[in-house]
Structure 1
Amino acid sequence: MGKLDGRVVLITGAARGQGEQEARLFAAEGARLVLADVLDEQGRAVADETGGRYVHLDVSREEDWAAAVALATDTYGRLDGLVNNAGILRFNELASTPLEEFLQVVQVNQVGAFLGMRSAIPALEAAGGGTIVNTASYVALTGMAGVTSYAASKAAILGMTRVAAMELAGKGIRVNAMCPGAIDTPMSNPGEGVTSEALDALYGKLVPLARIGRPEEVARLALFLTSEDSSYITGQPFVIDGGWLAGVSLF
């Protein structure tokens, strides 16, 4: 018996990185999947390999969300879970951040999570309840120079998670947030040819566990929050950062 046997889950940003690993783990645990992304070729490949269905989804577009939820309910007859994983990251100092760049990050990260939750609620309620897992960030809880747009959007996701959890508890829908630190994904990797070993060396100076995180580790947290293992948990941020938030070491 898998932890998600019979459950239908929609995962955004599923073509690579954390979303891809969530898709693979959820499929191994028995979930029936709708995988969404804007990277169509990669997304379809992951869907084929996991036995899921793929849908092109620009998370900032209401009509794309409606189509994704409809695919889940038309194909499987229900929707039991949503993982809002899709996101983008831009590095820039506050004084140098163009308004266009700031709004682009907010549109994908913050508006995308908002539209995802709002779009999924009717189907989750019709299924008798379900789960929403939002991907926030370490920087939703503490500061980091150079990521004003990203931090603003991720802090907003955390705020929306708490409000949604309160509003949806009576409908049997649990809403939680993951707050990853540095994870070895294409979004956080600074460039082609940078190895995991090089990233470990960089973050080994910052993180108590002395390495960058792996997307498989975030996927296991997403599984916990989507499964019955977390049945009495809602409205909470779950930090997965190798101890980064714990403090600063001088030695």
Structure 2
Amino acid sequence: PVTDRSEVFSIKYTLTNIGYAVGPFLGAGMAKLDLSLPFLLSAGLGAGFFFIYFVWGNRDLNATDSAQKPVPFLAVGKLLLQDYRLVCFTLGGLLSAVVFGQFTAYLSQYLVVTTTPESTYQIISTVVATNALMVISLQYSIGRKISHRHLNLWLVAGLSMFMLGLAGFALSTSILLWVISIAIFTVGEIIVFPAEYMFIDKIAPDNLRGMYYGAQNLSNLGAALGPVLCGIVLATQPPHYIFYMLALFIVAAGLFYFLGASNLSDITDMDSD
């Protein structure tokens, strides 16, 4: 049901982050025994999941109306581009993903330039652990409260947390300040991630819902761009300039989000009536 979807998104994201939190520590422990063990373990997990699905998975599911004719791929692409709201939110997601998609990568680059390798390892390990614990403990309780009706306010809150977190990164001079900064930054991640999917869920036609989610996943390109752009800035400018650049990406993402969500309140009011 529509009213339960934000809760389900948050549960899924929480479980995913448990994997992200456990994986590196488990891999590091296995690597101490043998460098090949993390790869063998990963392959075993993949094979195990395949076996479980092959034996118990439901392969007869049909998520679309069988009476509806399939839409040609090129026609779907044209239709998606014609949806102004989807285009705006996809661009907003791409720009914001530059900031939060691979933050550990660009923070590692920044720390290697500004501190020692030992300090970099210590800070990044603490940042990753704090981020994972925050998401696991708060994603469900916060994410389940996100609704279509107040989506703009949630996005303002999430993007504001990103800005505060970036400011904290730029000013951090101790482990404690890094922990506080990543905690604030993570709250933004906890809010923005389900809010994006709630918006797409709201505007997607039932027969094109999968395509709409697929278009939103183009934001992963932003996650890949983040370390590249930060690396270029670090190679050509003073190190702290990367935070100015990332702040501009947040501002630009917010602009596209609000352009896309400008008439969402009207849609929500119509639905409730």
Q: Pick the structure with more helix per residue.
A: 2
TM above 0.5: no
Q: Which has the larger radius of gyration?
A: 2
Specify which structure has the higher proportion of strand.
1
Give the TM-score of the pair, scaled to structure 1: 0.31
Q: Which has the higher contact order (CA 8 A, sep 6+)?
A: 2
**What TM-score comes out, normalization by structure 2 length?**
0.29
